[in-house]
Structure 1
């Protein structure tokens, strides 16, 4: 799937145009989670959208390291 097709799908589903590439990135993620995109399609779209300026939220990159307590 190319970005143009993702935009068309977004418009059909939402009855509105995406405001920015971050909305498309969120929508692509939603489509992937709902099994509407393969992993290869998703990775390709994410790469293209990132090249176009999309960013993931800051909390996405936080590393959670659970504390281990040995007793």
Structure 2
């Protein structure tokens, strides 16, 4: 039971911010147009940036540990 709760909390911690970011798309159009990009290209670039920054943070935490 504890393992199921831990797994559920982990999934919630990973997917909840993604869902909230997908819902709050109010300023994406303005930011994308200020960079002369389409919304799809901007979202793809932000996904790549988030992946790299998350990976670097993970490596940093792993090395510090």
Q: TM above 0.5, one fold? A: no
Higher RCO (CA 8 Å, separation ≥ 6 residues): 1
TM-score, L = length of structure 1: 0.29
Where is the helix percentage greater, Structure 1 or Structure 2?
Answer: 2
TM-score, L = length of structure 2: 0.31
